[in-house]
């Protein structure tokens, strides 16, 4: 468990810093949108599957929370596209 856990934690930190720098690196708005969508989705999925541990939870719960993340990010993506 330990190694995997620290990788996930490191990934969350790294993705946060990448997201912070993204507006400077990606000047084209659509690239920025894609970049932030990917980092946010990855971070959210790590929290849901690993930290919340929903990977080992009944499907209805896992997919409700995952569905929430995808639905919210998808709708926001449309709003910012």
Partner 1 sequence: MTTLTLQATPQKSIPGDLAMWFFILAELLVFGVLFICYGITRFADPALFNAGQTHLHAGQAAWNTLFLITGSGTAVLAAHAIARLQYRQGSIFLVATFASGVLFVVNKLMEFASYLGQGYTLSTDNFWMFYLFLTFFHFLHVILGMVIIAAVWIKLQQGHYRNGQTAGVETATSYWHMVDLVWIVLFPLVYLIR
Judged by the rule CB under 8 A, the positions of this chain that interact with partner 1 are 1, 5, 9, 12-13, 16-17, 19-20, 22-23, 29, 32-33, 36, 39-40, 43-44, 47-48, 50-54, 56-59, 61, 64-65, 68-69, 71-73, 75-76, 78-80
Query: Whole-number minimum distance, CB 65 to partner 1, in Å?
Result: 7
Q: What phi-psi label fits residue 57: left (phi over 0), alpha (psi between -120 and 50 degrees) or beta?
A: beta
Nearest one of 53, 71, 72 to 62, comparing CA atoms: 53
Report the candidate in 57, 18, 77 with the shortest Cα–Cα distance to residue 66: 57
Task: Rank residues 3 and 58 by Cβ distance to partner 1 and give the closer one.
Answer: 58
């Amino acid at each position: 468990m330990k190694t995997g856990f620290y990788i996930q934690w490191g990934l969350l930190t790294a993705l946060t810093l990448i997201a912070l720098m993204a507006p400077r690196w990606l000047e084209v708005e659509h690239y920025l949108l894609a970049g932030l969508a990917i980092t946010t989705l990855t971070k959210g999925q790590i929290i849901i599957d690993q930290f919340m541990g929903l990977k080992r939870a009944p499907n209805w719960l896992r997919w409700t929370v995952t569905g929430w993340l995808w639905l919210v990010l998808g709708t926001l993506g449309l709003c910012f596209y």
